[in-house]
Amino acid sequence: MVSGVERWEFFLTFACNYIHDTMALNNLFTKGNRDKHFFPIYIKQAETAQIAAKYLQELLKSDDPEERKLLTRQIKKQETTGDELQREFYMELNSAFVTPFEREDMNDLAMSLDRFLDFINHSAKTILMYHPQRLDKQIKEIVDNIVEDANLMIELFTKLEDFKANQQEVAELCQKITHIEHVVDDIYGDYISYLFTNEKDEIELLKYKEISQVVEDTTDRAKDVADTVKCLIIKQS
C-alpha cells in the first residue's frame, strides 16, 4: 500500500512538473518568441523598398543616361536584397512552431511587400528601356507618392508588431496608403487625357503612357499591402 507521505510526495512532484511545463508552454507562446523573427523581416522589406523608391526618385531628376543606368543598378540591388529577405522569411515561417498570425496571412504580407519592391524595379527598368525625351511632372508626382508609400509602410509594420495596442494607428496608416492610391489614380487619369490631347509624337506618347502606367501600378501594389494588413486585423478582431 502507498502511504500518505508517498501520496503527498507524488502530488508535489506532479504539481511541480505541471507548473514547470505550463510556464515553458506560456514562454513558447509569448509575443516575443512568436514575433521576434518575423516583424524585423517585414520592416527590412519596407526599408529596402524605401531605398529603392528614393533611387527611383533620383532617377527621374537626372537627364544623364549613365547616371540613370547606375541608379537602375542600385534599384536592382535592392530588389535582390528583397528576394533574399523573402527567402529568409520562408525559412523562419517553415521552422516556426507558432506564429503571431495565420501562416497564410503572414505569407501574403511578405509577398505583397516583395511585389511592391518588384514594381519599383520594373518602373526603373521601363524608364531606362524607353529612354523618353522628357519625364513630365505628373510621372514625378506619382513617384513622390511611391516614396511616401514606402515611408508609411515602415511605420505601419513597426506599429503592427503590437497591433492590439496600435490598432487605431495601424488602421489610419492603411487608410493613408489607400488615399495615396486614389490620388495617383486621378493624376494618372488627367495625365493620360493630357497626353492624347497634346502629344503629337506617337512613339513618345506610347513611351509616356507605358511609364506612367507602371508607376501607377506600383501604388496599386502599395495598396495591396494595406489591404492585406486590413484583412489580417479584421480576422484578429
| pLDDT tens per residue across span 106-161 | 889 999 999 999 999 999 999 999 999 999 999 999 999 999 999 999 999 999 88
Contact 96/37 with Cβ under 8 angstroms?
yes
Q: Which range has the worst mean pLDDT, 9-18, 49-58, 120-129?
A: 9-18
Q: d(Cα 42, Cα 29) in Å, to the nearest integer?
A: 20
Q: Where are the domains of the chain?
A: 12-236
Question: Would you say residue 67 has pLDDT above 90?
Answer: yes
72, 131 Cβ separation under 8 angstroms? no
| Cell numbers that stand for 200 in this block | 503629337
- The cell numbers describing 42, all together, are 517585414
Work out the mean pLDDT of the chain and round it to a whole number.
86
Instruction: State mean pLDDT over 65-78.
Output: 97
More confident residue, 164 or 47: 47
Looking at residue 163, the DSSP 8-state letter turns out to be T
CATH number of 12-236: 1.20.58.220
> Does 203 have pLDDT greater than 50?
yes
CA distances from 204 to 61, 134, 179, 195, 201 (A): 19, 9, 30, 10, 5
What does the alpha-carbon distance between residue 1 and residue 203 come to, in Å, rounded to a whole number? 99
Does the pLDDT of residue 12 top 70, yes or no? no
* Whether pLDDT at 202 is above 70: yes
**pLDDT tens sequence across 158-199:** 998 887 888 899 999 999 999 999 999 999 999 999 999 999
C-alpha distances in Å from residue 141, one per residue of 16, 75, 97, 121, 178: 65, 19, 44, 17, 16
What confidence category does residue 90 fall into, taking pLDDT thresholds of 50, 70 and 90? confident
> In this structure, what DSSP letter does residue 183 have?
H
Question: Which pLDDT does position 30 carry in this prediction?
Answer: 41
